[in-house]
Structure 1
Amino acid sequence: MRAIWSGTIGFGLVNIPVKLYSAVKDSRLDLDMLDKRDQAHIKFHRVNESTGKEVPWDKIVKGYQYNDEYIILEDEDFEAASPEKTKIITIESFVEETEIDDIYFETPYFIEPEKSGTKAYALLLKTLEQTGKAGIGRFVLRTSEHIVVIRPRDNYLLLHQLRFQEEIRTPEELTLPAARIQKKELDMAVKLVESYTTEFDISRFKDEYHAELLKIIKQKASGKKRAVKKMNVVHTKSTDLFSQLKASLGSGGKRAS
């Protein structure tokens, strides 16, 4: 793995030199864009809209439009905005992990200590394990500030980026009409949920769509005709909700073991 950030975690007066590594990887198929006529690769160019000519990377700068004028920002400007946050993740408070709504969680990263910070890293890990707390802090990654939560996981520390509150939309624009649920419908639905209840095991869930798409690619490569699965989705009407629930219980489908 390649570190995406190196710096320090500030824990009171204790500073822990660390590196961050992405804890996730993309499992999607790498599909290229091609010209339908001759299967040539489609390339994207960085074009100057005034001259129509391509612009090399070393001539591209970042700018912010302010009062109808672009203000150019250099790398030093991004660091100068908050030099400490580009190098230090300061734990500002400790909270119960269960207090953080799942909607705020974003990208996870592994935290690895530098050799000089091994003992301090272990101390923070053990302290969070014993107290059941998680550390909340902020830092700058790739020119953007992020809220982060640092929490123990097995024998290491995990950092999760969190979304800011202003990034979360409200459900006020949703159309949520009131519906009257009969007691017998609710009781039957509860029984159905109980019959499907099991312990959560993420390893049971595989990327089946990825596997099926790869199978189609191999079939097409060998000249075979792909078999198209027929789908006939029937939506449950409010008038037959109870009968659908009852039939689901009696169908002997997937049940908890």
Structure 2
Amino acid sequence: MRGLLLVVLILCLKTMSAQSKQVDIRDNYQKIFGVEMLEFGNQKFPKPTVKKLKKSDPLYMLTEKNKVILLNLFTDYSGFREFSQVKGIEDSISLQKEFYSFLNADAQFGDLMDKISEKINNGKFIDTVTIDQLTDVASKYFYIKGIDEQGRYEGKVCGGLNGNSANPSIKHPFIEAFSVAAILENFQKGNNLYDQFVRGMKNLNKIQFSENQEQRLLEARGAMYLFMFNNQEFRDTLISEYEKRKQVLPFYLKV
């Protein structure tokens, strides 16, 4: 009888321990996210941040390894752009208060955070993504933004305007956020995607595109996307970075 009671007690303790380690990002917004005011000339703008946590904190791996993913989801899939236009928040205390009030009320962002929480806690995937689908989205962050006076192509990577933001009707929040993180992590280190991008730009100059400037730009963008899409080093980088972050990413990558 005592042995049975001991087994039951151990099982109860294990269950309580597992429950205590459950991650709920929504309940920890103030621990994870912060905001600071930046000044540009006479203007001030709030900037979101991801806080640095202690290694002993259950949320440490989420914030330490996935800061870019969290910030990308926050800036692209919350109402922060509208919040940043609010005037009259001068002191730090008021800024913090308004920021967390806004954050707690943001349903779309909260839903995304719930999906990450469920993945961490239960291993739940919301989607299966093939490597072709992932590379398709990721390749569109290598963007040809214009043509200079000498007729050479001007490129940019990730932030602001890109092939994904230019098509707002199609959205893949987690794939986009992961792609940005993977590219930035390996842009001028690791697999050095900068070199791949430069090589692609040089190849564009060897191709005869349309004489019409706008059409030429569209064709060059498509050619750059295709160059990166077919780049095996880029694909290998995405797979490697996914393996590092798959504990928090709520999509399964089918290679």
* TM-score interval, normalised by the smaller of the two chains: under 0.3
The structure whose Rg is larger is 1
TM-score, normalising length from structure 1?
A: 0.22
Q: Which has the higher helix share?
A: 2
TM-score, normalising length from structure 2?
A: 0.22
Q: Which has the higher strand share?
A: 1
